[in-house]
Structure 1
């Protein structure tokens, strides 16, 4: 038979209040119900815990041993309950997050640093990867994912979006004919991101809303956004980079935007969590913080 914590708590209350009547008042039970719990506890243990008369009660040797251990167990249970309630009230503890390296460097690291400044009891454990990691196996609290989500048993929270920017280095563009329309791209070197559903095909939309799909001449394929950017910067060809990754390079002149009159489909930035129900404060607050932070960055 399993341990009945309710009967244990009733027994401890009787001992600490030195009376079945007083214990009944504290517990909100009848005196007969308190007596019944103690008798059932003794029956399940197979020992007598206390000697009772009409005027007094005293613990047996078994009762002394049981009371000492039961009191400690109940204190530990109350402490655990208090700690778990605390997790829901204020952000604390280790927050394990995974994100693509490029988004982590440009956006997540600054945001997480500010979040830790606001909540000093939070620690960040960041795992950078372009791969979709198993959240349960890796004990992750949150996964930041970009692009277009596949079906998932987890809960995805939209945080923001990004534009895909077609760009190349000044050195590369000086060697080739700068493309003006999507068809021109078929003759140029293409730096492909292996994580995309169709790395060698792009669908462009012009200002009038007309769409055109082009097959690229792939020169390089890389499985990491940081590597794609590095190849484009080195002059290996033209590539499509998310705006948060290309922004500083475009402003500094290290990259040049190609065909600004034609746009690629926008992607999303999502926070994926195992479940939003009963999420600890460190998760729910970080979700709110990231939504506000990414919204502010999009407006800059």
Structure 2
């Protein structure tokens, strides 16, 4: 029975890795041994689970059904082990997290450092990338994502909602003038993400959409912040991103009664069954971000 359960877990790893070689590296056994174990599993069941070619594997109809059932069993078993381990010690192991670059650098870095101090047994493998990693086939425990949660089979846990406000440097405002109403933004240099042609602003009661333009088209909040600091224009970003700039006076609020559309932040996981290290990390971010 033990070998049977172990082979189920190996089968799940092969499917997640989309091949024997990567799965063998993950579980630490020879490729030939892994292939032999899966063949034995198919023989025991009496059905072919995988179509094998020289380049890839594909699930058979029976294999797809078996994978869905086995994955739940394997996740439950891993969670049980993690929860029992919690009774003896603090969470430990390597926490693999995918993070959006600018948000991580300007906002999450001190929070991650604080979490690391709380849990010295956890090692961190942080991947800062603009792409949306595949949590099913790539070895990440959690991905932090900004914006609306896409419709998928992933589990989305809300962490926070960040509201953007308008800011500019004193030097820029001295040169270009201070906007007195949202419509004035049309004649200003506005530093916008990607090719945004308009900003929707609210003051609690009213909502207006104003055209914006500028010389710079960017996909980096960090770069937008830097350009605003050297008098290049007006930005619409969450206060949390520019707290240091406001404190030292290199940026100041513009039209402070007006704000943009709030942006949700999510922790995305492949499953609801989380090991202690991942659960603690998500709970920590939820608690700290709620304070702000």
Classify the secondary structure of the residue corresponding to 2:177: coil
Correspondence 1:264-283 to 2 at 5 A: 264-276=260-272, 278-283=273-278
Q: What corresponds to 1:220 in structure 2?
A: 216
* TM-score, normalization by structure 1: 0.66
Change (3 A) 1:206 1:4: closer
- For residues 77 and 100 of structure 2, what CA distance do their matches in structure 1 show? 36
Change (3 A) 1:249 1:221: same
Alignment deviations for residues 122-179 of structure 1 (CA, whole Å, 9 cap, x no partner)? 1111112333233334321111122333333311111112120211111111111211
Q: What corresponds to 2:259 in structure 1?
A: 263
For the pair 1:206 / 2:192, whether they are aligned, the reply is: no
Q: What corresponds to 2:118 in structure 1?
A: 118
For the pair 1:231 / 2:233, whether they are aligned, the reply is: no
The runs of at least 4 aligned residues of structure 1 exceeding 6 Å deviation read: 81-84
- For residues 155 and 110 of structure 1, what CA distance do their matches in structure 2 show? 25
Q: What corresponds to 1:105 in structure 2?
A: 105
Q: Return the offset for 1:211.
A: 0.9
Change (3 A) 1:149 1:228: farther
Q: Return the offset for 1:107.
A: 3.5
Measured on the aligned residues, the alpha-carbon RMSD in Å equals 2.4
Contact 1:165/1:246 (<8 A) preserved: no
Alignment deviations for residues 254-285 of structure 1 (CA, whole Å, 9 cap, x no partner)? 10111012121122221111111x21111111
- For residues 293 and 178 of structure 1, what CA distance do their matches in structure 2 show? 35
* TM-score, normalization by structure 2: 0.67
Gaps of 5+ in 1: 6-43, 45-80
Gaps of 5+ in 2: 6-43, 45-75
Correspondence 1:28-39 to 2 at 5 A: none
Change (3 A) 1:82 1:186: closer
Classify the secondary structure of the residue corresponding to 1:217: coil
Classify the secondary structure of the residue corresponding to 1:180: coil
Q: Return the offset for 1:186.
A: 0.6
Aligned residues: 216
Q: What corresponds to 1:159 in structure 2?
A: 159
For the pair 1:241 / 2:237, whether they are aligned, the reply is: yes
